[in-house]
Amino acid sequence: MSKHDFRGGVLIENPYPLNQLSVVEVPPPKKAIYLLKQREGASAKPKVKVGQKVKVGQVIAVSNNDYCVPMHSSISGVVSAIDDQPIAHSSGLKVPSISIESDGKDDWISLKGCGEEVDKCTPDEIIEKIRNAGIVGMGGAGFPAHVKIKGAQGAKTIIINATECDPATLCDDALMRKYPEEIIKGIEVLMYACQSQKAIIAVEEDKVDAIIKLNQTIKNKNICVEAVPIKYSTGAEKLLIKLLLDKVIPTGSFASSSGVLCQNIATVKAIYDAVVIGKPLVSRIVTVNGSALKNPSNYEVRIGSSFSDIVKKSKPSANPHEIRVGGMMMGVDVPDKNYSICKITSSIIVDEIKIKQKESACIRCSKCNEVCPINLLPQQLFWFCKSDNTKKASSYDLQDCIECGCCSYVCPSHIPLVEYFQYGKALVKKELREQELAAKSRERYEFKEFRLDRIKQERDKMMAEKKAALKAKMAKEKDNKAKIAEALKRVNDKKK
């Protein structure tokens, strides 16, 4: 048990009856849709054409951008469409996608990994393998794993985040119980790739089975399991580092700059698959939980499978549902189940429709500040965001909000505080962009003015020179004329 702590947080118990769910392996789906943009930033470009045959593990989309990893097919079959599909978000935003229809064979490409002797490869080769396997942070942020590892070369400590990051999500627990050996081996690979001496696996204290399994598996004395309290928002990277190492990572800098690398436990398992077996990231464990389900469960599914297929396996009730993706605290509500599993989809919550508590006036009770792990003043930020006062909101450190949702959870007036903060942050971003644009166009304008001025000056100079030349010429001509006239006069005078 960790000796340290961070301020705030809420003790939220899993609201659903089961706190340990078995893993059900789901056979490859008939059809899979791959979203080529899984996080903010660049999207991968398709490498296949409609009608092309693909195998499981074949690269179907790539990008030159280092922050965008390749996408692999998770089923074997034929590319049926390349079009735009909605991401699982209430905005209904669409991103480029590839659809593949299965041929029912589950044909794999030939896999070539390093095998158990990882040190035959150099750390750089391993990092390249991780990139080529399309691995991103599977806890929810989806940050490319290889970028993070590259930045954390020589990190003293590696923290493996197995805290679920959400009270209703149980996929990390299932993974630890099913793949303890793979996880430990994956950690060793990671330690070798970063040349680190120590790894800590952070597991919530109530996941007893997982802790026992891991401890039985660990042979390496540099790897240890640390039970952490069930306090919510422990899963946030910087808070976990504070809890385990009592280190505060300053705002604006990464954990790696303090010699720490934090990786999600599912990411570590994917790293094992990629490096040791040579298998790209084509499947993950998803928790399907909720009050509307008869059989909540963890499913090991292929990336690209549809939500509705998986939810169906949990026997949902016939009533209309409320669907939330990515956890009860930080997830997003989506209108229906017509979405596909991404690399970052950790959970799908299907609830009976609840009566929404009506938002009432903020009474400044400060309960939000009491639970804020970052020690912000949500009650003040709420006012500033509501009145579009981005300047004030920024001076109260709006940008430091990690959107964990503790404040919204405890608010007696049921104010969706995090939504206001997201709005405020978007507004700040927009203003910054506008400022940048304005600065750019001013620069352009000033340069244009400068250019026009220079041209004018040059022209004036040229004109003046020409004028002078002309004048000189004219003067010369006049002079000549006068000379001619004089000569003529002289001739005429002589004639007389």
Partner 1 sequence: MITGKPILNTSNLMLQVIYGLILGVALQFYFFGWGVIYQITLALITGIAAEIIFLKIRKKSIDAIKDNSAALTAILLAISIPSIAPWWIVVLGTSFAIIFGKQLYGGLGSNPLNPAMLGYAFLLISFPLEMTRWTSSFLSFGEGLNVIFSSINIDALSSATRLEEAKFALMEGEVSNPIQIDRTVWINLGFLFGGVYLFYKKVITWRIPLSFLAGIIVMSLLLMLIDSDHAMGPVFHLFHGATMLGAFFILTDPVSSSTTPRGRLIFGFLIGILVIIIRTYGSYPDGVAFAVLLLNIAVPLIDYYSKPKVFGR
| Interface positions with partner 1 (CB under 8 A) | 6-13, 15, 231, 238-239, 242, 248-251, 357-358, 360-367, 369-371, 373-377, 379-380, 396-397, 400, 409-414
Nearer to partner 1, 274 or 407 (CB): 407
**Residue 13 to residues 75, 329, 348, 410, 467, Cα–Cα distance (Å):** 37, 12, 18, 14, 90
Residue closer to partner 1, measured from CB, 222 or 399: 399
Q: Please state the φ and ψ torsions of residue 328, each to the nearest 5 degrees.
A: -70, -25
The distance of closest approach from Cβ of residue 316 to partner 1 in the complex, given in angstroms and rounded to an integer, is: 24
Cβ 361 to partner 1 shortest distance, Å: 4
Angstrom distance (rounded) from CA 89 to CA 163: 24
The whole-angstrom separation of Cα 307 and Cα 315 is 13
Toward partner 1, which CB reaches closer, 101 or 403?
A: 403
Cβ nearer to partner 1, comparing 318 with 355: 355
The closest alpha carbon to 161, from 240, 260, 279, 48, belongs to: 240
HEC string for 222-287? CEEEEEECCEECCCCHHHHHHHHHCCCCCCCCCHHHHCEEEEEHHHHHHHHHHHHHCCCCCEEEEE
How many whole angstroms from its chain centre is CA 46? 20
Nearest to 303 by CA among 283, 327, 276: 283
Alpha helices (H) in 95-220, listed in sequence order: 123-132, 145-151, 171-178, 180-194, 208-217
Instruction: Give the H/E segment covering residue 368.
Output: helix 367-371
Contact status, residue 369 vs residue 379, Cβ threshold 8 Å:
yes
CA distances from 184 to 179, 192, 202, 224, 395 (A): 9, 12, 13, 10, 44
Q: Which CB, 246 or 465, lies closer to partner 1?
A: 246
Give the single-character DSSP code of 276: I
Nearer to partner 1, 72 or 231 (CB): 231
In degrees and rounded to multiples of 5, residue 101 shows phi and psi of -95, 135
Q: How far is the CB of 238 from partner 1 (least distance, A)?
A: 7
Give the Cα-Cα-Cα angle 388, 392, 395 (nearest 5 degrees): 140
H/E segment holding residue 453 = helix 417-495
Distance CA 280, CA 275 (A): 9
Angle at 118 between CA 115 and CA 124, to 5 degrees: 120
Nearest CB to partner 1, comparing residues 8 and 28 = 8
Of the candidates 313, 327, 323, the one whose C-alpha atom is nearest the C-alpha of residue 291 is 323
Q: Strand 223-228 to strand 198-204: parallel, antiparallel, or no bridges (unpaired)? A: parallel
Q: For partner 1, give the closer residue by CB, 139 or 373.
A: 373
For the CB of residue 90, give the shortest distance to partner 1 in the complex, in Å: 24
Q: Please check whether residue 226 is in contact with residue 244, taking contact to mean a CB–CB distance below 8 angstroms.
A: yes
Select 104 or 412, whichever has its Cβ closest to partner 1.
412
Q: Which is nearer to partner 1, 308 or 413 (CB)?
A: 413
The closest alpha carbon to 324, from 147, 160, 167, belongs to 167
Provide the token pair at 485: 């006239």
The span from the first CA to the last CA of the chain, in angstroms, equals 133
Q: Cα-atom radius of gyration of the chain, to the nearest Å?
A: 33
Nearer to partner 1, 215 or 253 (CB): 253
Which residues pair with residue 99 across a beta bridge? 33, 81
Distance in Å, CB of 374 to partner 1, minimum: 4
Nearer Cβ to partner 1 (46/373): 373
